[in-house]
Chains A and B, each alone.
Chain A
Amino acid sequence: MIRVVLPAHLRTLAHVGFEVKLEIEGPVTQRSLLNTLEAKYPMLQGTIRDHTTLERRPFLRFFACEQDLSHESPDAPLPEDVASGKEPFLVIGAIAGG
């Protein structure tokens, strides 16, 4: 079970609480995690990644296990603690403006 923490505005959009739980078959990567997240919560499509390029939106960052994973390859394996559900994968809005 993968745990994902979304920014407040995306929680509202997806009608979910603080943490989302996902089941992912196969390798746990940014790509497989976001694919599964968007499949389960289709209203999030285009809000974390660009619809067409699937690149991370510029004002969002990805963190887990006290590491900044924003610039890692989307196909790189996520930390084992994320894959095991021990630690959540955090989608964070950059602090800019208000």
Chain B
Amino acid sequence: MSKVRVLVGTHKGAFILTADGKRDKWDVSGPHFAGWEIYHMKGSPADPNRIYASQTSGWFGQIIQRSDDGGKTWQQPGTPPGEPAATASDMPKPASNKFVYDTAAKPLTTHQWYDGTQHPWEFKRVWHLEPSLEDPETVYAGIEDAAMFRTTDGGENWHELPGLRGHGTGPKWQPGAGGMCLHTIILDPKDPGRIYIAISAAGAFRTDDGGKTWKPINRGLHSQYIPDPNAEVGHCVHHIAMHPSRPGVLFMQKHWDVMRSDDAGDSWKEVSGNLPTDFGFVIDVHAHEPETIYVVPIKSDGEHFPPEGKLRVYRSRTGGNEWVPLTKGLPQSNCFVNVLRDSMAVDSLDKCGIYFGTTGGQVYASSDAGDSWNPIVRDLPAVLSVEVQTLT
């Protein structure tokens, strides 16, 4: 029988929720890495029991954790678990948390700071881990300050793909309120050379050669705070989603505006339609209906909570423009949580399950494509990310 595993990263640890295909009874495991910020966890599509986690702390820096048994046990890649027996100098030299910007290929040392001056690139944390679709040892990491890293040895060593920072527009990138983070990585299942990424606040970028060269794909985006209405970069893209059957069609939740591209990001058009507000963070696509998309409208950039205190997921079955609020089972009064950019995911069961986590610590799930919702856990620390694995 099918099983669903939900990987929840929170402000104070990781939680793993599991259920059978009925999705009505959930087992909660955690907190793993209690007290640490878990920005993201994601399983390998090629080996679902291989899960990677980004564990981070303002005090102690970045840690990468890996599980080979579906989240039961974890280790830092390249580091023997438990206390080593000796103090010999030939002990392992783990580098799984060593993210050092490339300075050789095409050095690029500064980006735009909040006040418009140039500021050096400084590693802060890993926001997003995207395992390869084919190889469990290969993972892409999106980091703050924005850059793309890759491991090909299961997380033991990480190397930057310097073509992204080095392609030319880097000095115009600037941090959003959450930092200058590379938060979205989408691998094209039909073209192994094509990867989409998004950065706040720089915009969306695409490579067609596996990460060697990149180009901005922001034509059609308009942002009030950028003086140039046709700016190539500087846009605060919050998240992008793609259906694997149509990798050239992208849906974007920008700072303001919900956008759509039908040409792999070469151009974008607004599909906010009748949304009560088009500010928000998450966006995702139904597992079986590529034109069915979901967003959670948030009141504004200054008020990060649902309009009118009503937590509503909006669904469009027409690829945007025409939106319907989904409210059954969601709080419709006095709700002032946020739903952060990596905190929505879908399973691939029939009917499609939709999941999202809130800064109030709830993880809501719908096992009927959004028609009704239930909190499958409701008192966690603030949720930073949600990913879902459908296991058969």
A16 to B83: give the CA distance in the assembly, Å: 7
B interface with A by C-beta (< 8 Å): 34-36, 57-63, 76, 79-84, 86-89, 91-95, 97-98, 100
Interface size on A, residues (CB 8 A): 30
Please, which residues of chain A bring their CB within 8 A of the CB of B83?
Answer: 14-16, 40-41
**Shortest Cβ gap from B27 to chain A (Å):** 23
Contact among B80, B82, B89, B100 with A51 in the assembled complex (CB-CB below 8 Å) = B100
Q: Would you give 22 A-B contacts (Cβ < 8 Å), ordered by A?
A: A7-B60, A8-B35, A9-B57, A10-B60, A13-B63, A13-B76, A15-B82, A16-B83, A39-B91, A40-B87, A40-B91, A42-B84, A43-B76, A45-B95, A47-B60, A47-B97, A48-B60, A52-B98, A57-B59, A59-B58, A94-B59, A97-B58
**A93: interface (CB < 8 Å):** yes
**Would you call A45 and B57 a contact (CB within 8 A)?**
no
Question: Is A57 in contact with B61, judged by CB distance below 8 angstroms?
Answer: yes
Among A7, A14, A15, A47, contact of B61 (Cβ-Cβ < 8 Å): A47
Residues of A within 8 Å of B98, CB to CB, are 45-46, 51-52
Contacts of A75 in B (CB 8 A): none
- Separation in Å of the A51 CB from the closest CB of chain B? 5
Q: Which positions 20-76 of chain A face chain B at CB distance < 8 Å? A: 22-23, 36, 39-43, 45-48, 51-52, 57, 59-60
**Residues of chain A lying within 8 A (CB to CB) of residue B87:** 22-23, 36, 39-40
Among the interface residues B57, B60, B95, which one has the most CB atoms of the partner chain A within 10 A?
B60
Q: Given A39-B88, A40-B87, A42-B91, A15 and B100 touching (CB < 8 A)? A: no
Q: Tell me which of B84, B89, B94, B100 contacts A45 (CB under 8 A).
A: B94
Q: Within the assembled complex, what's the spacing in Å between the Cα atoms of A45 and B63? A: 10
Question: What A residues does B82 contact at CB under 8 A?
Answer: 15
Residues of A within 8 A of B88 (CB): 39
A40 CA / B93 CA spacing, docked (Å): 11
**CB-defined contacts of A51 to chain B, threshold 8 Å:** 95, 97-98, 100
